[in-house]
Amino acid sequence: MRLIRVVLCVVMMLSGWQVVAQAQSAESQSNDAQAAQAKDSGKAAYSLPPEKLERAIAYSRQRTVLGFVDTGWGIVVLLLLLTTGAAAWMRRVAVGLSANRWVQGFTFFLLFLTITTALGLPLDMYGHHLSVAYGQSVQHWGSWFGDIAKSFGLSFFFGGLLVMLLFLVIRKSPTRWWFWFWIPAMVIVVVGTFVYPIFIDPLFNKFEPLVQSNATLVGQLEQVVARGGIEIPPERMFLMKASEKVTGLNAYVTGIGASKRVVVWDTSIAKATPQEIQFIFGHEMGHYVLNHIYKGMAFTGVLLLALFWLGYRGMQGLLARYGEAWGIAGQDTWSAFVVLMLVVSVASFFAEPITSGYQRQQEHAADVYGQEAIHGIVQDPQAVAQQAFQVLGEQSLTDPNPNAFVEFWTFSHPSIGRRAEFAKHYNPWVAGGKPEYFQK
Ligand SMILES: [Zn+2]
């Protein structure tokens, strides 16, 4: 599911955070943090050998802590910008430079983006160091910094435009801007989802038609497509050279309309069997067939509207109380952007369980679909699916015992253990059973 990434990009651009388009997509990043609930050790559907288990637990703990620290630090940075007067200073610099609003807006945003990126860099670097240390990434620092620089450039350009638009709407409609800004924001989400795989993804990874190097696999995947009764022509299947940066395996569906496509990482092809890839592909096809991208967009729409309204109310409240101390005259001054980002960041953090819960439910549906999609094509769908989760978990060093709170708050997928356990027991073809998404 790439949609949430697109949405995050919009929100991050709005908030001025860089779009760190790391090689890992949302799908596998979450797998990183995922873990199994192997209560009955030895009999668990997903388990790790002792030495791997130890590393997986250590890695997952550090990742979890880093995730929460990163969010907290982002909020602290915004608070610091406000309380030290840095936000007011950035506005003075921008306004002092030119009377032209475009120059002012982009200057203010450049300062904001530079300072927040610089202050967030040590944690980002530590995150990359962890990935390398635990064998999850093979990307060297030069390439990693290159990605950061590209993200920064993209954020500056698109984020700057959004900031200009935001302040235009705030000036035109001081009390209803949260609604009027929501409309173009939704257009951007839709357009962004369409263009992302065409223009943004290739900036960070290499893609080629899957059929070019894996004609046999394309044939095997077309078998699954045929069972789904839909059409995904081979031109819509891509291979991503993920192995240049990461070691984990993944596949995903992205884009809408004419840009809709399935992407398989080359690491999956190297490490999973054709049958396991058929299952992983079936799962992705589930997202495709069950219209998860469109549903996700609708969900995002509701969430964004709530977020903007909260942003409006929160900003009003904070400015009334601290505006003078922070040197911010009103919501239509450039520096008010930092206040808005503070409210949006805090609200986004508390909205995380809602987003994660929604995603987990979609991911589970895709798991069901995937397993049903390979029925009749592979001999034992249950075993194939379970083994696919085993490979996935082992490769991404997934802790089999995730903390229940962390799972509830942050996991975009059910834990690998839960997924493997479900796969092991899911058999709707026994007497009296009926598949959920297929006739037979
Ligand atoms: Zn999925």
Q: Report yes or no on 112 lying in a domain.
A: yes
Gap from CA of 334 to ligand 1 centroid (Å): 39
Which of 130, 107, 147, 119 is closest to 55 using CA atoms?
A: 130
pLDDT at residue number 355? 95
Residue range 376-395, pLDDT digits in tens: 999 999 999 999 999 999 99
CA distance 108 to 153: 15
Gap from CA of 93 to ligand 1 centroid (Å): 46
pLDDT at residue number 11? 53
**Which residues span the domain enclosing 413?**
207-292+360-425
Q: Is-contact 380 271, C-beta < 8 A? A: no
Gap from CA of 243 to ligand 1 centroid (Å): 20
Gap from CA of 98 to ligand 1 centroid (Å): 48
Residue range 330-389, pLDDT digits in tens: 999 999 999 999 999 999 999 999 999 999 999 999 999 999 999 999 999 999 999 999
Gap from CA of 250 to ligand 1 centroid (Å): 9
Residue range 255-309, pLDDT digits in tens: 988 998 989 999 999 999 999 999 999 999 999 899 998 999 999 999 999 999 9
Q: Report yes or no on 337 lying in a domain.
A: yes
Gap from CA of 74 to ligand 1 centroid (Å): 28
For residues 200 and 212, membership in a common domain is answered with no
| Measured CA distances, 286 to 101, 291, 366 (Å) | 47, 8, 5
For residues 132 and 277, membership in a common domain is answered with no
Q: pTM above the 0.95 mark?
A: no
For residues 343 and 401, membership in a common domain is answered with no
CA distance 182 to 165: 11
Gap from CA of 375 to ligand 1 centroid (Å): 19
For residues 398 and 367, membership in a common domain is answered with yes
- Average pLDDT in the 125-145 region? 97
CA distance 292 to 366: 9
For residues 373 and 267, membership in a common domain is answered with yes
pLDDT for residue 19 is more than 50: no
CA distance 101 to 355: 36
Gap from CA of 322 to ligand 1 centroid (Å): 44
Q: How confident is the model at residue 230 (pLDDT cuts 50, 70, 90)?
A: confident
Gap from CA of 279 to ligand 1 centroid (Å): 11
For residues 251 and 346, membership in a common domain is answered with no
For residues 77 and 166, membership in a common domain is answered with yes
Gap from CA of 3 to ligand 1 centroid (Å): 11
Q: Report yes or no on 316 lying in a domain.
A: no
Angle between helices 292-326 and 274-289 (to 10 degrees): 70
pLDDT, averaged across the chain = 90
Gap from CA of 137 to ligand 1 centroid (Å): 21
Gap from CA of 49 to ligand 1 centroid (Å): 26
pLDDT for residue 12 is more than 90: no
For residues 198 and 233, membership in a common domain is answered with no
Gap from CA of 284 to ligand 1 centroid (Å): 6
**Which residue would you say has higher pLDDT here, 24 or 135?**
135
pLDDT at residue number 160? 96
Gap from CA of 409 to ligand 1 centroid (Å): 18
Gap from CA of 423 to ligand 1 centroid (Å): 14
CATH number for the domain including 242? Answer: 3.30.2010.10
pLDDT for residue 231 is more than 60: yes
For residues 275 and 127, membership in a common domain is answered with no
Q: Report yes or no on 440 lying in a domain.
A: no
pLDDT at residue number 18? 36
pLDDT for residue 313 is more than 80: yes
Gap from CA of 154 to ligand 1 centroid (Å): 26
Tell me what percent of the residues of the chain surpass a pLDDT of 70: 90
Gap from CA of 366 to ligand 1 centroid (Å): 6
For residues 233 and 369, membership in a common domain is answered with yes
Gap from CA of 281 to ligand 1 centroid (Å): 10
Gap from CA of 397 to ligand 1 centroid (Å): 18
What tokens does 439 get? Answer: 């006739």
Q: Report yes or no on 312 lying in a domain.
A: no
Residue range 143-177, pLDDT digits in tens: 999 999 999 999 999 999 999 999 999 999 999 99
Gap from CA of 292 to ligand 1 centroid (Å): 10
pLDDT at residue number 34? 39
Gap from CA of 23 to ligand 1 centroid (Å): 17
pLDDT for residue 41 is more than 50: no
Q: Report yes or no on 253 lying in a domain.
A: yes
Structurally, the chain folds into a number of domains equal to 2
237-240 and 261-265: which strand pairing?
A: parallel
Tell me what percent of the residues of the chain surpass a pLDDT of 90: 83
Gap from CA of 27 to ligand 1 centroid (Å): 6
Gap from CA of 280 to ligand 1 centroid (Å): 9
Count of CB atoms situated within 10 Å of the CB of 175: 10
pLDDT at residue number 10? 53
Q: Report yes or no on 33 lying in a domain.
A: no
Gap from CA of 149 to ligand 1 centroid (Å): 29
For residues 346 and 378, membership in a common domain is answered with no
pLDDT at residue number 9? 47
Residue range 90-107, pLDDT digits in tens: 999 999 999 999 999 999
Q: How confident is the model at residue 28 (pLDDT cuts 50, 70, 90)?
A: very low
pLDDT at residue number 35? 38
pLDDT for residue 26 is more than 50: no
Gap from CA of 121 to ligand 1 centroid (Å): 29
Q: What angle do CA 389, 279, 243 make, to 5 degrees?
A: 70
CA distance 406 to 391: 23
pLDDT for residue 420 is more than 70: yes
> Looking at the DSSP assignment, which residues form a beta bridge with residue 246?
137
CA distance 239 to 178: 40
Q: Report yes or no on 341 lying in a domain.
A: yes
For residues 258 and 380, membership in a common domain is answered with yes
